Chain A
Amino acid sequence: MSVTKAQRDNYQQLVKKHRPARTIVKNTIRAFIVGGLICEIGQVIQTLFIRYGHFKPTEAGNPTVAVLIFLSAVLTACGVYDRFAQWAGAGSAVPVTGFANTITSAAMEHRSEGWIAGVGGNMFKIAGPVIVFGVVSAFFVALIRYIVTHL
């Protein structure tokens, strides 16, 4: 006798009853604060590049992102970033540091399978979809902008 639909539905109710509530409010506040702080750090770094590195404000963005990516990669390599992310949630995932973490962690994980097939083949395993859909959506946004400005 296989499981009937009624039994499944009953069980889903039971599971729902015992599933601990996700702490959405707490998670959202943490994500807001941590995500904001990471951006704030980025802003400080950018200001330093402008003030002491004599970068133009429009050009200071790239070295700033590079520093944040470097910091995130170092923290990932030291085994700190994943623990921080469990606490911070989206706050650590959304900024560029989260993106750097996906690439660094995948590269580290697959190092044992060699440089080409391991690191090269798997580095963008998690980041790949972000890049694909980032480029696709950028294309359509650019297309819309082109049409709007040339009409």
Chain B
Amino acid sequence: MTRIGRQTWDFSRGTGVYVGGVGTVAGQLESAGPLGTNFDFHLENDRVDGDTWEHSEQSMFGKAAQIALENARVASEELDVLVGADLNAQLTGFYLGLRAHPVPALGVYSACASICEGLAIASLIIHSQHGERAMVGTSSHTSTAERQFRYPTEYGAQKPPTAQRTVTGSGVAVLTNQPSAIQITHATIGKVLDYGIKSPWEMGAAMAPAAADTIAAHLADTGRKLTDYDCVATGDLGHIGHKLVKELLHEKGLTDTGHLTDCGMLIYDSSQPEVFSGGSGGACCSLVTFGHLLKEMLAGRYQRILVSATGALLSTVSTQQKDSIPGVSHAIVFERKDGM
């Protein structure tokens, strides 16, 4: 492994890290959204088999993992490590959802930025030859998140327009050292940044500075410009957070933000009910990246993209104790390898 600059890991030389296959499972609202047809499996009901919300989330995670393995043509026994995350306390979505796989497992957490943290760790494992194949994924469910962080699902509380809807779904990828059409070349690990946002209804605002900081650090470390990427996608800032990150990048002198987008903006259409400022949650970035952005790369529309997943670091206790909400953002570079 080579570290370049202060925060970026370079996987482009030596043992390569490639995306062997992906699996995506989308909830009802996500399936009905603009990217709906891109996802592999659509839930007919967000409550899977009439079971609890938590079991539904675990079942989505399991299903996405199964599809990813099938697409990568890899058997579960051939995996060297699982790296995953979700928003439930003690990562029950990941650990219980994938317990059927007899594979060494690492649960990680940086809220909704976990997918890029997972990809970075798994890439490091493969690049440093501690494993040949790894499975990485995240899940989230709007009703498990509501219960844990907010109110009961059916409770009638009016949400402000800055609120975001937690994405119901799961996105999983199998990474391997065997060359494929998409390579992971860099990972930039973000710092925890606290700009003093206190409202849990303003996650986009809480995370935008971290995204801007990580993107700027990545460009400084690699000596690249924003225009070197065909798409720069933040994780789940939503429409309001997207405007903020754009302004913050402009302040840093990064003005070519034409290719900047946000997974939370892409996953829903503004006309859908109660999506407010856009999507959020652990599965927002993984669903859009694996289900949509990588497909755009395979279709030849993107050559190189930067995905900077964003996480808001809070718990129910920290909000009730009036702590501010710091953000963190980790970025991954995906590059298309022609001739694969």
Contacts and interface: CB of A to CB of B under 8 A. Distances in A.
Nearest to A104: B154
Q: Is the interface of B mostly helix, strand, loop or mixed?
A: loop
A86 B156 contact: yes
B274 interface: yes
Nearest to B160: A22
Interface string A106-126: 101110100000000000011
B230 interface: no
A19 B155 contact: no
A139 interface: no
A79 B156 contact: no
A20 interface: yes
Nearest to A106: B152
Nearest to A84: B156
Contact of B205 (A7, A15, A79): A15
Interface residues of A, number: 39
B161 interface: yes
Contact of A86 (B158, B162, B205, B240): B158
Contacts of B202: 15, 19
A112 B157 CA distance: 22
B5 to A, nearest CB: 15
Given A14-B247, A112-B52, A98 B152 contact: no
Contact of A3 (B158, B160, B194): B194
Contact of B155 (A8, A18, A84, A101): A101
B147 interface: yes
B195 A105 contact: no
Given A8-B195, A105-B154, 17 more contacts: A3-B194, A3-B209, A18-B244, A79-B154, A81-B154, A82-B157, A83-B273, A93-B156, A101-B154, A101-B156, A104-B154, A108-B153, A109-B153, A109-B154, A112-B52, A112-B54, A126-B152
